[in-house]
Structure 1
Amino acid sequence: MKTDVLHAVRLARLDLTLVARNTTVLFNVLLLPLLLAWMYTGAQGGAEVAGVPGGAFVLTGVPGLMLGFAVFINLVNSFTARREELVLKRLRGGQPSALAVMAGSGLGALALLLGQMVLLGIWLHRTEGVLPANVPLILLAAVLGVIVFGLLAAAFSGLTPNAEMAQITVLPVLMVMLLGAPIAFPLDVLPGPLGTVSGLLPVTPVVEMMRTGFLGADHFSSGGEALSTAGQWVAALPSIGIMVVWIGVTGLLARWLFRWEPRHG
């Protein structure tokens, strides 16, 4: 167990080093979500949303975008490229266990996401005067989101024939995240069936937990009323339950679809 943890940490450090050395990946993973956040906040025009300034509402939903880029797209590209280059095959045949290899990629993605969220927190404080109200809830949302979208990335990498096609394979999930998650709008603006579907998407519970954790108010419903710390955790329980279900679903998909060797054999 200790050896697997050490291997996972070592692989995570390698992942972060490779990201830092690749300007294109660094832009897509770290800066593009922040650029989209700036565009979303500009579109709000200062109007209030769910009882809070539009800028604060959008920025506290931006971690949903970050999951799409820093975790999902990043790991689909990484898993696919390493599989085609036989890196995954060599890793599986070496000392790290399969779990350590997957955990290492997940830890690297989590570090990227948390780095983005630190920048986001500074942005929120400087522009909106917001300080996080419930950091543990925010961290739990980040961890659950990385697990779900990391497993989903592993599954989608198995459907992706090569690294060049990865940019196309990820588009359906990315479009659903951009259009269906309550990043720039409250969930209740969607008509009944669409609102129900959006509420069950794995990105929506993460956004709701992040927004509630940052603002200290109930953003699991349309109310936006202030909540105590204990009240925030109680309100988050259904969202946590949805994420646990998604961990089971994406875990099965990853086990079924993920490939350690090139698709052409």
Structure 2
Amino acid sequence: MTKTDVLHAVRLARLDLTLVGRNTTVLFNVMLMPLLLAALYSSFPTGDVAGVEGKVFVLTGVPGLMLAFAVFINLVNAFTSRREELVLKRLRGGQPSAVAVMAGSGLGALAVFLFQALLIGIWVNRFEDVLPVNVPLMVLAAVLGVAVFGLLAAAFSGMTPNAEMAQITVLPVLLVMMVAAPVAFPADALPGPLAVVSNLLPVTPIVEMMRTGFLGADHFGDGGEKLTMAGQWTAALPSIGILLVWVVIGALLARWLFRWEPRHG
């Protein structure tokens, strides 16, 4: 990206955040619904999970699930409605490049997601007296997660005929993430087929990186052993690799399916 692209992306991200703040429905779905979901999930486990108090285990993994709302659902709706209203066509024909338009949406979604993760961090610290151990690892998980789900959102918007259908298009992805993401239990503790599905999902390495970075322990399996800072990064390498593969897959799908203009005829 050029310096001009970066400036356009930042301006578009600011516009996206302004629009989210002004739309009550979007604000509820993107900001409040994930927090309500976090409260619901945190009521499930009892006792310790992988050597961690159950509520802490859940809350440190919930940010990965929040990507479904802050990024995927948000951007599928935004891309589809803007395409149908010819906003994307006008943007592409104006000064911002295609990369700047996509990056602007991604930056806006990243800001929303990081704010939600911050709220979860404050929640955990306020009630459980736990502070994040490896913030850079958590931020890397957030950036890669937004990149993956932003690209997948672009691809899914291309398969969505109109804004009304966007609510239906996102449901399969949302349901799979809610059932198979290792939020309440480690992925290895899930039943056989569900564990296989969970390990193939891009949300799983994000959840595990977030939890490991927050707690400073190995939560890429079900052990929960304490790790040094270097050990955390070493343990995260396979998950980082998986997410980079998903970035490539998402980019290919977005390039193939994303549409800048409404369907004709």
Normalising by the smaller structure, the TM-score range is over 0.9
Moved over 2 A (4+): 191-194
> Deviation at 1:185?
1.0
Determine if the alignment matches structure 1 residue 21 to structure 2 residue 35. no
> Deviation at 1:200?
1.8
8 Å CA contact retained: 1:188, 1:195: yes
Matches of 2:106 and 2:177 in 1, distance apart?
20
Give the corresponding residue for 1:169: 169
- TM-score, normalising length: structure 2: 0.98
> Deviation at 1:37?
0.8
SS of 2:164 mapped into structure 1:
coil
Give the corresponding residue for 1:153: 153
Give the corresponding residue for 1:42: 43
Matches of 2:148 and 2:160 in 1, distance apart?
18
Two-structure CA RMSD over aligned residues (Å) = 0.9
Determine if the alignment matches structure 1 residue 124 to structure 2 residue 121. no
SS of 1:185 mapped into structure 2:
coil
- Within 5 Å, give how 1:1-265 maps onto structure 2: 1-44=2-45, 46-264=46-264
Matches of 2:191 and 2:81 in 1, distance apart?
40
* Structure 2 gaps, min length 5: none
> Deviation at 1:256?
0.1
> Deviation at 1:190?
1.8
Equivalent residue pairs, number? 264
* 1:23-64 per-position Cα deviation (integer Å, ceiling 9, x unaligned): 1111110111110110111122x4211110110000011112
* Structure 1 gaps, min length 5: none
Matches of 1:194 and 1:107 in 2, distance apart?
32
Matches of 1:264 and 1:172 in 2, distance apart?
27
> Deviation at 1:230?
0.2
Matches of 2:123 and 2:168 in 1, distance apart?
31
SS of 1:101 mapped into structure 2:
helix
Which amino acid is the alignment partner of residue 227 of structure 1? L
8 Å CA contact retained: 1:79, 1:154: yes
8 Å CA contact retained: 2:157, 2:258: yes
Matches of 2:28 and 2:114 in 1, distance apart?
16
* 1:2-32 per-position Cα deviation (integer Å, ceiling 9, x unaligned): 1100000000000000000011111110111
Which amino acid is the alignment partner of residue 127 of structure 1? F
Cα distance change on mapping 1:194 and 1:43 into 2, 3 Å: closer
> Deviation at 1:263?
1.7
8 Å CA contact retained: 1:80, 1:166: yes
Matches of 1:63 and 1:104 in 2, distance apart?
21
> Deviation at 1:252?
0.2
> Deviation at 1:123?
0.1
8 Å CA contact retained: 1:64, 1:177: no
Matches of 2:194 and 2:24 in 1, distance apart?
38
- TM-score, normalising length: structure 1: 0.98
